[in-house]
Structure 1
Amino acid sequence: MTLGVEDRLDITDLLALHGHLVDNDEMDRLDELFTDDIVYEASNLGHGELRGLAAFRDMARARAGTPGAPVGHHVTNIVLTEAGEGRVHARSKGIGVGVDGECGSVTYEDVIVRGERGWRISRRKITLHFSPAAAPGTEEADS
């Protein structure tokens, strides 16, 4: 499969849609983003591995409005890699902005599949970054 420009644009739009839906509390539209059997790995955030769209929806609704929950989700640095017929791996960075202006950084690692309804995320692993990565050759990196 050759990932064409139109597919790349569709997938980039798909990844950007996450922030719009979650930040606007449009949880009833998450089927535009995820497959029904989404596997959402959020152990690094304390949520474990969620299976299914309903489980993700429940977690997102419960998290909204809690202290420390982002009020703005922004995606950037999208890298797409073909992974076979109708399948793409995507790696992107996310910036979450809290109500107090505090920001956090995550990495999203997604498996995106093409189905009857177009491209959807079937697996997402989210990793929150608690501190800067140590530069190679520094004491922190060598330990």
Structure 2
Amino acid sequence: MSISTADRLAIHELLALHGHLSDAGAFDRFGEVFTEDIAYDLTAYGAGVVAGRDALRDMALQLGDGNPLGHHVTNIVVSPTNSDTVQALSKGLAVATDGTTASVTYTDIVVRTASGWRISHRRVVPRRQPLHP
């Protein structure tokens, strides 16, 4: 299964947009990134699955200054499952207000909607220790 180069570019930009909107506090624009029924899996942080775009926005607003100063997405790999759904794997770096950084892996299901590509499911897994060969 393959998708067009234009679709790949749109998906890469979609994943990047999440960080820009979050860093600007533009949580009311999450409709440009997530489906209305997004399942945002924060189980690895003990927060379970945040169900729905409004709940995700509310959580981000509630975190307030606890949100990272910067979200950086890199190492994006797009694997189509059909012409309207892809799995995207990417790495995320977050910079906190105290200058510390954290690394996560995002595993996303991205779907084609009438408004363009949107993330319908995201699992966030922190990287807490290096590999030990």
Q: Scaled by the length of structure 2, what TM-score is found?
A: 0.96
Counterpart in the other structure of 2:94 = 96
Residues 34-89 of structure 1: CA distance to partner in whole angstroms, max 9, x if unpaired? 000000100112321011101111111112302xx411000000000011130000
Q: Does 1:18 align with 2:27?
A: no
Which residue number corresponds to residue 4 of structure 1? 4
The offset of 1:132, in angstroms, is: 1.1
| C-alpha distance in 2 between matches for 1:45 and 1:97 | 17
Work out whether 1:127 is the aligned partner of 2:133: no
Structure 1 runs of 4+ off > 4 angstroms? none
Q: Tell me which residue corresponds to 1:140.
A: none
Aligned to 1:61: 61
Counterpart Cα distance in 2 of 1:89 and 1:25: 26
User: What whole-Å deviation, never above 9, does each CA across 1:111-132 have from its counterpart, x for those lacking one?
Assistant: 0000100000000000011111
Aligned length: 133
Please, which runs of 5 or more residues in structure 2 have no aligned partner? none
What are structure 1's unaligned runs of at least 5 residues? 136-143
Question: Are residue 32 (structure 1) and residue 32 (structure 2) matched?
Answer: yes
Ranked by relative contact order (alpha carbons within 8 Å, sequence separation 6 or more), the top structure is 2
Supply the distance in 1 between the matched residues of 2:44 and 2:62 (Cα, whole angstroms). Answer: 17
Give the structure-1-normalised TM-score: 0.89
Q: What's the offset of the Cα at 1:133? A: 2.2
The Cα shift of 1:101 comes to 1.3
Q: Give distance in 2, aligned partners of 1:102 and 1:109.
A: 23
Distance in 2, Cα, partners of 1:126 & 1:90: 12
Q: Which amino acid aligns with 1:88?
A: V
Structure-1 residue corresponding to 2:73: 75
Counterparts of 1:74 and 1:64, CA distance in 2: 19
- Could you tell me which residue of structure 1 aligns to residue 43 of structure 2? 43
State which structure, 1 or 2, has the greater radius of gyration over its C-alpha atoms: 1
